Every structure is written in structure tokens, then in C-alpha cells.
Structure 1
Amino acid sequence: MYLNYIFCLFLAFNLSLDKKEFIRNFDTEGHLKSEGWVLNGQKTDFWTFHHSNGRIEKKGHFKNGKKTGYWYFYSENNKLLKEGSYTKNTMNDWWTFYSEKGKKKIQYINGVREGFALVYINNSLKKAERYKSNIKTGEWTSYFSFMRDNPGVKF
């Protein structure tokens, strides 16, 4: 009787353990669509998603099925399109968006542009913008006018 009790406890304990597994998802043609870790039916840890041509579309981490931490997004030609941080599936902190002309760094709070955006062309800072609740409230094209209007701001 005592052994049955211990066996039942052992079985219940092992069934309740979280099992993490690595999975791969494929499209109907057999191309890899995504790969990463699943825990309790939700994405967790590092994941990679692929375009139909096999190149990486995006990569980053999940926690409890939600994007978290730093993510990278690529075009089908393998060019970096954007990168930035997520908190519980929401864009936060600085994000960088890339184009043929240059890049734009934008501050986000809870998925909304909030703070400053810096526009670079040929790796040279060309202008700064300020956003409040996703609405542009200011723009500067010279360092001196920016510092005059925004004393104490540091990047």
C-alpha cells in the first residue's frame, strides 16, 4: 500500500513538470517557417521565423507566448529592416528602422512613439523629432536649435 502511494506521488509529480520542447513548423511545400521552443503550449525562449525563400524574416525571444527582449526583422533579400525591444508583445525603448537613405531611431513607450526620433542619412544625424502620444510635436535640423529648445537632454 505504501509503495502504491509513493508511486502515485511520483507519477503525479512527473506529469506536472513543465516540458519544454524544440519544434519546427513547415509550410505546405516543406519549407521551414519557424523554429523555437515551446513550454506549456506557448512559445518561449529564442525563435526564428523564415520567409518563403528560406531567409530569416525575424528572430527574437518569447516569454509566456509574448515577444520579449531584443528582436531583429529582415527583408526577403536579407537586409535588416528594423530592430528593437519588446516587453510583453509591445514595442518599448529605442527602435531603429533602416531604409536605403539611412536610418531612424525612435523611442517607444508601450507601443507608442513617445520621446525623440533621430534621423540619420549616410550615418550623419540630419534631424531630430519629438513625439507625444504618437503625434510629432517638434522637429529640429540643427544641433544648436535642438539644444536650445531641449536643455538637459542627453542621448
Structure 2
Amino acid sequence: MNKLIVLLLFSTAVFAQKTYQRNYDGNQNIISQGWIENNQKIKFWKFYYNNGTLKKEGHFLANKETKYWKFYTINGHLEKEGHFQNGKKNNWWLFYDDMEKVNHKCQLKNNIKNGYCLIYNNEKLVSASKYKAGKKLKEWSTFASFKRENKLSDLK
């Protein structure tokens, strides 16, 4: 009986071991790297384009994206960044232009616009929209008109 318990404990420890994994394509170019536990992605991961440039980076929990992620263009420029919860985009997401300046930012819930979207031109806020479950409820063409009808604390 004691041998069986020791064997079970040893087997559980071996199979539950956390390891760092690097994955390569057929040409030995790295395509991803990160932590694996129980055959699931956990903790921090990085993914790469075929040219070796970083494509995206962020955290996993039980094979689902979680916490904060960043996405890059094939040229290495920041494209977008934001929060994941249980594998879905949630909270504020920032989207960048080719010069890595914020183009717009939106509140999302379960991958869908839900809340405010703010549009920028040369880092200046130029318009805003409000969404509920992906449907546009209202749009303001100036920040002044937006401020008249909304509380800035809603943007947190």
C-alpha cells in the first residue's frame, strides 16, 4: 500500500511538472516559446512571425489568454494591446497607427465593443462613440460635445 501511494505521488509530480518550451518550424525558426504545465500553456508566452519578429506576447492560464497582451506588425511595430480574461478581449484595448501613436482605444467585453471608443488624430482626441454589445448607441464628433453629455470618470 505504501509503495502505491509513493508511486502515485511520484507520478503526479512528474506529470504536473512545469517546463519551458520552444517551438520551431521546419526551417528551425522559432515560432513560439513559453511555459507548459499539464500539456497547457501557462504564464508568459511569445509568438513570432516567420521572419523572427515578435508577433505577440502575453500570459496564459489553462491554455487561455489572460492578463495584458501586446501585438506587433511583421515589421516589429506595436499594433494593439489590451486585456484578456478567460481567452476573450475585455476592458480597454489600444490600437496604434504606423507611427505607434494611439489611433483609437475601445472598451471591449467578450471580444465585442461594449462601452466607449475614443478616436485620435496625431495624439489628439477627435471623436468618441458609445457601444453596447457591439451596437453603436451614440457618436460625438468633438470631445467638447462628448464631455457635455458624459462623465469623464466613465472612461476609467
Instruction: Flag whether TM exceeds 0.5 (same fold).
Output: yes
| Over 6 Å off, 4+ runs | none
**How far off its partner does 1:110 sit?**
1.7
**Structure 1 counterpart of 2:10, from 9, 14, 21:** 14
**How far off its partner does 1:14 sit?**
1.6
Q: Gaps spanning 5+ residues in structure 1: where?
A: none
Q: Secondary structure at the match of 1:77?
A: coil
Correspondences of 1:3-152 after superposition (within 5 Å): 5-17=1-13, 18-100=16-98, 102-150=102-150, 152=151
**After the TM superposition, which of the residue ranges 75-84 and 127-136 deviates more from structure 2?**
127-136
- Residue by residue over 1:41-68, the C-alpha shift from the partner in whole angstroms, topping out at 9 and shown as x without a partner, is 1101100000001010000000000000
**How far off its partner does 1:144 sit?**
2.7
- Residue by residue over 1:19-78, the C-alpha shift from the partner in whole angstroms, topping out at 9 and shown as x without a partner, is 111111100111000001111011011000000010100000000000000000001110
Counting aligned pairs with the same residue, the percent is: 36
Aligned mates of 2:71, 2:24 — CA distance in 1: 19
Q: Gaps spanning 5+ residues in structure 2: where?
A: none
**How far off its partner does 1:145 sit?**
1.4
Conserved? CA contact 2:125–2:143, under 8 Å: no
Aligned mates of 1:126, 1:135 — CA distance in 2: 20
**How far off its partner does 1:120 sit?**
1.2
- TM-score, structure 1 length as denominator? 0.91
Bigger Rg over Cα? 1
Aligned mates of 2:144, 2:121 — CA distance in 1: 19
Amino acid at match of 1:108: L
User: RMSD of the TM alignment (CA)?
Assistant: 1.4
